[in-house]
C-alpha cells in the first residue's frame, strides 16, 4: 500500500506560515492558470478533444484486460519483457532483480510518479543501487531528500536560493566560492553533472504517460530530454507504469497528447514526446539492449467498477492541482501524499486506505474548479464526496463534527423546533455576538474575519409578521 | 422545465438558511423581484435547509431524509426559486443522487429539480425579465459563486440584469470565478486555509476599481465582507437581489 | 511471476464482466487496434499552407527554420546558420544523410555516424514534420542514431517539405506506410522546440539536458534515391 502521512491540519498550518513556500505558490498559481487558459483559447476544438479523450479512456477501461493482453503480446513481439506486479513491494523487488542480474550499480531515472508512489529510490539505495533522478525538479528534491510537491513540477516549492544551497552541499568537487545566484548558472551546473551520470549509468528507468496496445509501445513526455537520455544511453531500459496507463492505438495517444500538455503547463505539446518499442534492433546505432515494462496494480484494479472508477481515466496532467484553491494555499506537501491536490485526495485514500488518508477528501471547498479543467472530465468533487460518505460510515469523522452535524440535523428535520432555534440564534447574533467566539469553528473565522450582525429576527418570523 | 411558463406562475421561495438567519432583506428583495415579474410568491413554512451540511459531510442518510422533506415541502408549485446558486444546485443537481434505488422518490426528486432555479437565472431564463426597475450609482464588481457558476452555468444572467440598473456599471475582477474559501463546512473545518483563500480574493479586489461587491450566494458574501472589513477597503457588499430590487439598505457588515 | 499476472487479471475481470463478456471485450479491442478510431483534425491545419503553418508553430516554441529549394543548397544553409551564430563548423551527421549525395561547404567539417556526446553539432533527417504544433518526427534505425538528437548542444534537422503533414495521426499514417517491418522503430521522437525547463521558480530556461538550439532546414525536394 502507498504511504500517506495523516496530519493535514497541522501540515496545512505550517505551510501557511512558510513564506518561501507561499512565494512559490503565488508564482505557480499565476503561471499554470494563465498558461492553460491561453493554450485552450488557441485551440477552438479543445473541448471536443476533451470529450474524445474521455471516451478513449472510458473505452480502454471497459476493455482493460483485453488491451493489457494485446499490449503484453506486442511488447514481447518487439523483443521486450513484461513484469506484472500486484503491489509496490513486488515492483521494487522486480526492478532490483533486473538491476542486480545485470550488475547495475547506478540507474538514471526519468520522472516517474509511480516510482514515487512505491518509494523506489529508498529501496534501491538500501540495496546497493544508486538511483539518479535526472528531471531537474526531481534531481533537486532528491538532493533535498524530499517528496515531490506537484505531480508535474516536483520542486515547485523550492526557491532558487534553496536550489543553490542543495547544489553546494551535493557538488562538493566544484569550487565552493562559485556564484550560483542565477537560474541559468544552476542549470548549467545541473546539465554538466547529470550529463556524466547519463553517460555512466548502468541502467535507465522511465515512467510512462501512456502505453500503446497496438504496438507495445511506452510513451513519455518531457521538456528537458532527460527521459530520452535515461532510456537511450544505458544498456537496459526499465519502464514503470500503472496498469491503467494503456490506450488502444497511436491515434488514441495523439488525442490524449493534444489535451495533456495544454492542461498541464499550457504548452501545445511538450518539447519531447518519445515512443519506445522494445529494445534496440540488431543493426541500430544506439539504444538499449533490453526493454522491460513493469506493470503495477497496487490498488488500481479495485477501483474498476467502484464509485472511484472514473479516477482511472486520470492522465496526471496536474491541472486540478494548478486550479485548486486549497492546493494553491498550502502546496503539495501538506497533503502528505505524493499525489496531492484534488486528484490526490481521491486517489490517495484508494491506494493508501481511507483511514490513513481520512483528512484528504475534506481538504476541499468543493468549488468544482478541478472538474472544470480536467482534460478527461473526471467528476472530482463527486468522488471527494463519495470518500466523505465512506469516511462518515466508518466513523472516521471527529466527534466534534459528528455531534455538530447531529444537532443540526435533528433541528433541520423538525421545522417547528428549527424556527425556534433560528429565532433564538438570530437574537443572540444581534445582542451577544461575542458568545460566538466560544463556538468551535467560528472562533477560527472570527480570528481573521468579521461575522455580520443579524437584524435580530429571521426572515421567516419577519415574513409571518408582515403578511 | 415547463414548456411555456404560465403568465402568473406560483413560485415557492426557498429562503435558504443563511438568508433566513443572517440577512432577511435578501429574501424580501427576492420576493419583490418575483412579484414584479408576475409571480404569485409563497413561502412554505415547513422549510428548513436543503441538506448540504449533511451531504457534504458524508452523512448520506440524513441528507436523504432532509431531501425528502424538501421535496414534500415544495410540492405543488409551478416553480421553486432560491436566492442562492448553491442551494438551487443542491436541489437541481444532487437530489436525484439520493434516490437511485427508489424510482418513486427519484421521480419526485426529478420533478422538483426540473422546476427549481436560482433567482437571477429564473428571472431571465424563465420569466424573460430583461430589465429591472432600480437605480444605484457606481460600479459593481461581481463575484461568481462556484455552485451557481459551475453547476448551473450562471454567469451572464446577473450581469445582464445589473446592467439595467440605472446608474450602475458592472465589472469583473481577476478572482471573479475563483473560490472565495467559504465552502460551507470547509470554512469551519479549515478556517486558516479558508482565510488564506479569501485573502487572495481580497487582494485581487483591491486591485479592481469598484464601489460595490455583489454576488448571488450569501455564504460567499459574508466571507468576503467579513475579510474586507479587516482591511481599508471601501467596497460595500450586497446580495445581487438587494440591488436589483432597488432596496439597498446597510451593506453586509454595516450597522443598521 | 506468472501468479501475479493471473491475480491481477482475476482482479480486473469481475468488474469488466458485468458489462461485457471476455470474448466480446477481446473482439472489440482487437477490432479497434486493427482499425484505429480517427478523430477530427484541428481547423488550424485544414486549407492552409502546411509548410508555412509548420514554420510558424516551430518558431513559436523557439526553433528556427530556413527553407531551400534544392538539396544542393542544403549544405550552404547549414553552414550559414552555424556561421551567423558563431557556432563551431564541425558537425556529426546521421549516417542516412551520407546516402543523400549532399555537398557540404569546405568550411564545414561533417562526419557521419553516432555520437558519444562530444559533438557540438548534430545533423539529422526528420521522417516527417507535423504542422499542427511544429513538431518533428524522427526515428531510430540502422542509419539514424537517437543520441544524435539529444547530446549535441545544437541540433540541425533536415525536413523535406513533402513530408510535412497536418496532424499527429497523419504522421502515424506516413510512418506506418514507410515501415520496413511489422514493428515501429525502437524510438520515435517527436521534437517540438529545444530542451527546456521551468523547474526553478517557474522561470523558462532553455537547454537542460537536450539541445540548447534547434534549427530546421526545410528542403523542397526529396533526396535522390541512393
Grade residue A431 by pLDDT with cuts at 50, 70 and 90: confident
DSSP state of B147: I
pLDDT tens per residue, range C131-142: 999 999 999 999
Mean pLDDT (whole number) for B23-43 = 98
Q: Let me know if chains C and B touch, i.e. at least 3 Cβ pairs under 8 angstroms.
A: no
Chains linked to A by 3 or more Cβ pairs within 8 Å:
B, C
| Chain B interface disruption, residue of A325, A361, A448, A467, most B CBs within 10 A | A325
Restricting to C residues 126-185, those with a Cβ less than 8 Å away from any Cβ of A are: 132-133, 135, 140-147, 149-151, 167-169, 172, 182-185
Taking all residues of chain A, what is their mean pLDDT, rounded to a whole number? Answer: 95
Query: In angstroms, what separates the C-alpha of A451 from chain B's closest C-alpha?
Result: 6
C contact residues 54-83, partner A, Cβ 8 Å cutoff: 57, 61
Tell if the CB–CB gap between B66 and A448 is shorter than 8 Å: no
Cα A241 from Cα A244, distance rounded (Å): 8
Mark yes or no for CB contact A233/C184 under 8 Å: no
Q: Tell me, what's the pLDDT at A383? A: 98
CA A160 to CA C148: how far, in whole Å? 31
pLDDT band of C151, cuts 50, 70, 90 = very high
E strand segments, A267-388 = 272-277, 290-296
Q: Categorize the per-residue pLDDT at C25 as very low, low, confident or very high, splitting at 50, 70 and 90.
A: very high
pLDDT at C226 over 80: no
The candidate with the shortest Cα–Cα distance to C74, out of C105, C107, C113, is C105
Q: What is the per-residue pLDDT across C104-113, written as a single tens digit (0 to 9) for each?
A: 999 999 999 9
Across the interface, which of A330, A371, A388 has its CB nearest the CB of B57? A388
What pLDDT digit, counting tens, does each position of A201-224 carry? 999 999 999 999 999 999 999 999
Averaged over C52-56, what is the pLDDT? 98
Query: How confident is the model over A162-189, as a mean pLDDT?
Result: 95
pLDDT at B199: 97
* Per-residue pLDDT at C180: 83
> What is the predicted pLDDT for the residue at A398?
87
Contact list in A for residue C192 (CB cut-off 8 A) is: 268-273
Q: Determine which of A26-30, A79-83, A202-206, B29-33 has the lowest per-residue pLDDT on average.
A: A26-30
What is the tens place of the pLDDT at every residue in A127-157? Answer: 999 999 999 999 999 999 999 999 999 999 9
- Chain A residues lying within 8 Å of B238, measured CB to CB: none
- 3-class state of residue B163 by DSSP: coil
**Alpha carbons B14 and B48: distance in angstroms, whole number:** 9
Chains linked to B by 3 or more Cβ pairs within 8 Å:
A
Average pLDDT over residues A375-383: 98
Chain C residues 77-136 within an 8 A CB cutoff of chain A: 95, 113-114, 116-117, 132-133, 135
C179 burial type by CB count under 10 A (0-12 exposed, 13-18 middle, 19+ buried): exposed
For A213, the closest of C33, C38, C140 (CB atoms) is C33
State how far residue C68 is from chain A, nearest Cα, in angstroms: 25
Closest C-alpha to B220, from B176, B159, B172: B176
**Contact (CB<8Å) A223/C149:** no
**Residue of A80, A82, A272 to mutate when probing chain C, most C C-beta within 10 A:** A272
Stretch A192-201: mean pLDDT, rounded?
94
Chain C residues in contact with A184 by the CB 8 A cut-off are 205
Q: What is the per-residue pLDDT for C2?
A: 59
Position C196 scores a pLDDT of 92
CA distance A292 to chain B (A): 43
What is the predicted pLDDT for the residue at C1?
46
Chain A residue with CA closest to B202: the answer is A449
Between residues A431 and B115, which one has the greater pLDDT?
A: B115
CATH number 3.40.50 given to B130-244: yes
| Domain positions in chain A | 8-301, 399-466
SS3 content of chain B, % helix, strand, coil (to 5): 50, 15, 40
Nearest-Cα residue of chain C relative to residue A68 = C9
pLDDT at A399 over 90: no
**Mutation target among A459, A464, A465, A467 for the B interface, most CBs of B within 10 A:** A459
Q: What domains lie within chain C, and their CATH numbers?
A: 1-37 (no CATH), 42-219 (3.40.50.10420)
CA distance A20 to A25: 9
Q: Minimal Cα–Cα distance from B116 to chain A, Å? A: 20
- pLDDT number for residue C41: 95
What's the rounded mean pLDDT across residues C195-224? 92
Instruction: Note the pLDDT of residue A432.
Output: 79
In 3D, which of A134, A132, A140 has the Cα closest to residue A202?
Answer: A132
Q: What percent of chain C has pLDDT over 90?
A: 90
Query: Do the chains contact at A450 and B253, CB–CB below 8 Å?
Result: yes
pLDDT tens sequence across B146-160: 999 999 999 999 999
Structural domain spans, chain B: 10-125, 130-244
Split at pLDDT 50, 70, 90, the class of A99 is very high
pLDDT tens digits, B195-222:
999 999 999 999 999 999 999 999 999 9
User: Does residue B32 carry a pLDDT above 90?
Assistant: yes
Residue whose C-alpha is closest to residue B198's, from B165, B175, B174: B175
Q: Residue range C156-170: average pLDDT?
A: 98
Instruction: Please tell me the distance in Å from A462's CA to the nearest CA on chain C.
Output: 55
| pLDDT of the residue at B2 | 52
Residue among C116, C209, C212 with most chain A CBs within 10 A, to mutate: C209
* ipTM of the prediction: 0.97
Residue in A307, A391, C168 with CA at minimum distance from that of residue B57:
A391
pLDDT at position C193, please?
95
Determine, for residues B57 and A397 on separate chains, whether the beta-carbon distance falls below 8 Å: yes
Question: Is residue C210 within 8 angstroms of chain A, CB to CB?
Answer: yes
- Closest residue of chain B to A462, computed from CA coordinates: B24
Which residues in A lie closer than 8 A to residue C194 (C-beta atoms)?
271
DSSP character string of chain C: -HHHHHHHHHHHHHHHHTTS-HHHHHHHHHHHHHS---PPPPGGGSSS-HHHHHHHHHHHTT-EEEEESSGGGHHHHHHHHHHHTT--SEEEE-GGGGGGT----TTSEEEES--SS--SEEEEE-SEEETTTTEEEEE-BTTB-SGGGTSSSEEEEEEEGGGEESSHHHHHHHHHHT-SSSSPPSEEEEE-SS-EE-TTTT--EE-SSS-SEEEEEEESSPPPP-
How confident is the model at residue A442, as a pLDDT?
Answer: 79
Task: Report chain A residues whose CB lies below 8 A from the CB of C184.
Answer: 78, 215, 217, 275, 277
| Distance from the C26 Cα atom to the nearest Cα atom in chain A, whole angstroms | 5
- List of E strands, A271-414: 272-277, 290-296
| Integer Cα distance of A304 and A54 in angstroms | 16
Task: Give the chain A residue whose CA is nearest to the CA of B237.
Answer: A452
Interface-testing mutation among A241, A285, A295, A309, with chain C (most C C-beta atoms within 10 A): A285
- Whether pLDDT at B5 is above 80: no
| Residue that is written with C-alpha cell 457534504 in the block | B56
Task: Please tell me the distance from the alpha carbon of residue C75 to that of residue A460, in angstroms, as a whole number.
Answer: 86
pTM: 0.96
Amino acid at each position: 500500500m502507498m504511504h500517506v502521512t495523516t496530519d493535514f491540519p497541522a501540515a496545512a498550518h505550517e505551510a501557511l506560515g512558510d513564506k518561501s513556500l507561499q512565494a512559490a505558490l503565488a508564482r505557480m498559481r499565476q503561471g499554470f492558470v494563465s498558461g492553460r487558459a491561453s493554450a485552450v483559447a488557441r485551440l477552438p476544438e479543445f473541448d471536443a478533444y476533451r470529450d474524445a479523450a474521455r471516451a478513449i479512456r472510458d473505452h480502454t477501461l471497459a476493455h482493460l484486460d483485453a488491451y493489457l493482453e494485446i499490449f503484453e503480446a506486442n511488447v514481447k513481439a518487439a523483443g521486450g519483457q513484461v513484469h506484472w506486479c500486484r503491489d509496490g513491494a513486488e515492483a521494487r523487488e522486480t526492478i532490483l532483480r533486473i538491476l542486480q542480474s545485470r550488475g547495475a550499480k547506478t540507474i538514471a531515472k526519468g520522472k516517474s510518479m509511480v516510482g514515487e508512489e512505491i518509494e523506489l529510490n529508498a529501496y534501491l539505495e538500501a540495496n546497493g543501487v544508486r538511483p539518479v533522478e535526472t528531471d531537474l525538479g526531481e534531481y533537486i528534491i532528491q538532493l533535498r531528500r524530499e517528496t515531490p510537491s506537484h505531480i508535474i513540477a516536483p520542486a515547485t516549492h523550492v526557491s532558487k536560493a534553496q536550489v543553490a544551497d542543495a547544489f553546494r552541499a551535493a557538488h562538493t568537487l566544484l569550487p565552493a566560492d562559485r556564484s550560483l545566484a542565477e537560474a541559468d548558472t544552476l542549470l548549467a551546473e545541473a546539465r554538466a553533472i547529470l550529463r556524466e551520470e547519463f553517460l555512466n549509468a548502468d541502467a535507465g528507468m522511465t515512467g510512462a504517460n501512456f502505453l500503446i496496445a497496438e504496438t507495445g509501445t511506452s510513451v513519455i513526455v518531457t521538456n528537458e530530454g532527460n527521459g530520452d537520455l535515461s532510456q537511450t544511453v544505458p544498456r537496459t531500459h526499465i519502464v514503470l507504469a500503472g496498469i491503467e496507463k494503456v490506450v488502444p492505438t497511436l491515434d488514441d495517444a495523439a488525442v490524449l497528447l493534444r489535451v495533456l500538455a495544454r492542461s498541464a503547463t499550457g504548452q501545445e505539446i511538450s518539447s519531447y514526446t518519445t515512443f519506445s518499442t522494445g529494445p534496440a534492433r540488431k543493426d541500430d546505432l544506439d539504444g538499449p539492449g533490453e526493454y522491460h515494462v513493469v506493470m503495477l496494480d497496487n490498488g488500481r484494479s479495485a477501483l474498476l467498477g467502484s464509485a472511484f472508477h472514473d479516477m482511472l481515466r486520470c492522465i496526471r496532467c496536474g491541472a486540478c492541482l494548478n486550479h485548486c484553491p486549497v492546493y494553491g494555499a498550502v502546496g503539495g506537501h501538506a497533503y502528505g501524499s505524493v499525489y496531492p491536490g484534488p486528484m490526490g485526495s481521491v486517489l490517495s485514500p484508494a491506494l493508501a486506505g481511507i483511514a490513513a488518508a481520512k483528512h484528504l477528501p475534506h481538504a476541499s471547498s468543493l468549488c468544482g474548479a478541478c472538474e472544470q479543467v480536467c482534460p478527461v472530465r473526471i467528476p472530482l468533487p463527486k468522488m471527494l464526496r463519495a470518500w466523505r460518505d465512506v469516511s462518515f460510515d466508518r466513523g472516521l469523522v471527529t466527534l466534534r463534527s459528528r455531534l455538530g452535524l447531529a444537532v443540526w440535523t435533528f433541528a433541520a428535520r423538525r421545522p417547528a423546533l428549527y424556527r425556534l432555534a433560528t429565532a433564538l440564534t438570530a437574537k443572540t447574533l444581534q445582542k451577544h455576538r461575542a458568545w460566538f467566539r466560544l463556538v468551535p469553528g467560528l472562533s477560527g473565522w472570527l480570528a481573521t474575519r468579521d461575522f455580520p450582525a443579524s437584524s435580530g429576527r429571521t426572515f421567516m418570523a419577519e415574513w409571518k409578521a408582515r403578511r | 422545465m415547463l414548456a411555456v411558463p404560465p403568465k402568473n406562475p406560483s413560485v415557492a421561495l426557498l429562503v435558504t438558511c443563511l438568508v433566513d438567519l443572517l440577512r432577511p432583506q435578501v429574501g424580501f428583495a427576492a420576493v419583490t423581484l418575483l412579484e414584479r415579474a408576475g409571480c404569485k410568491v409563497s413561502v412554505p413554512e415547513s422549510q428548513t435547509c436543503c441538506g448540504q451540511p449533511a451531504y457534504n459531510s458524508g452523512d448520506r442518510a440524513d441528507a436523504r431524509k432532509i431531501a425528502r422533506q424538501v421535496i414534500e415541502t415544495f410540492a405543488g408549485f409551478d416553480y421553486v426559486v432560491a436566492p442562492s446558486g448553491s442551494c438551487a444546485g443542491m436541489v437541481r443537481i444532487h437530489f436525484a443522487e439520493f434516490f437511485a434505488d427508489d424510482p418513486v422518490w427519484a421521480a419526485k426528486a426529478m420533478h422538483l429539480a426540473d422546476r427549481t432555479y436560482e433567482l437571477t437565472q429564473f428571472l431571465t431564463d424563465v420569466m424573460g425579465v430583461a430589465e429591472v426597475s432600480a437605480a444605484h450609482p457606481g460600479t459593481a464588481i461581481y463575484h461568481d459563486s462556484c455552485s451557481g457558476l459551475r453547476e448551473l452555468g450562471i454567469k451572464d444572467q446577473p450581469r445582464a440584469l445589473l446592467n439595467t440598473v440605472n446608474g450602475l456599471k458592472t465589472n469583473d475582477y481577476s478572482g471573479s470565478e475563483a473560490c472565495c474559501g467559504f465552502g460551507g463546512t470547509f470554512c469551519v473545518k479549515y478556517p486558516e486555509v479558508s482565510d488564506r483563500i479569501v485573502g487572495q480574493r481580497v487582494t485581487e479586489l483591491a486591485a479592481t476599481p469598484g464601489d460595490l461587491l455583489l454576488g448571488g450566494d450569501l455564504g460567499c458574501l459574508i466571507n468576503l465582507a467579513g475579510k474586507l472589513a479587516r482591511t481599508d477597503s471601501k467596497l460595500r457588499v450586497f446580495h445581487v437581489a438587494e440591488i436589483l430590487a432597488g432596496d439597498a439598505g446597510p451593506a453586509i457588515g454595516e450597522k443598521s | 511471476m506468472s501468479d501475479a499476472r493471473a491475480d491481477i487479471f482475476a482482479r480486473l475481470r469481475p468488474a469488466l464482466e458485468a458489462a461485457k463478456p471476455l470474448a466480446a471485450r477481446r473482439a472489440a479491442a482487437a477490432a479497434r487496434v486493427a482499425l484505429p478510431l480517427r478523430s477530427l483534425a484541428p481547423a488550424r491545419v485544414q486549407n492552409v499552407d502546411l509548410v508555412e503553418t509548420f514554420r510558424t508553430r516551430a518558431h513559436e516554441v523557439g526553433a528556427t527554420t530556413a527553407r531551400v529549394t534544392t538539396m544542393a543548397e542544403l549544405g550552404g544553409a547549414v553552414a550559414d546558420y552555424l556561421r551567423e551564430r558563431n557556432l563551431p563548423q564541425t558537425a556529426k551527421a546521421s549516417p542516412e544523410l551520407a546516402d543523400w549525395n549532399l555537398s557540404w561547404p569546405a568550411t564545414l567539417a561533417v562526419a557521419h555516424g553516432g555520437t558519444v556526446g562530444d559533438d557540438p553539432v548534430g545533423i539529422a533527417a526528420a521522417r516527417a514534420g507535423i504542422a499542427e504544433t511544429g513538431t518533428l518526427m524522427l526515428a531510430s534505425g540502422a542509419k539514424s542514431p537517437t543520441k544524435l538528437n539529444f547530446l549535441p548542444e545544437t541540433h540541425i534537422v533536415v525536413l523535406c517539405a513533402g513530408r510535412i503533414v497536418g496532424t499527429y495521426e497523419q504522421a502515424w499514417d506516413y510512418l506506418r506506410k514507410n515501415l520496413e517491418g511489422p514493428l515501429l522503430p525502437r524510438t520515435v521522437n517527436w521534437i517540438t522546440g529545444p530542451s527546456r525547463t521551468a523547474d526553478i521558480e517557474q522561470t523558462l530556461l532553455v537547454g537542460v539536458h537536450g539541445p540548447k538550439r534547434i534549427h530546421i532546414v526545410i528542403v523542397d525536394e526529396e533526396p535522390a534515391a541512393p
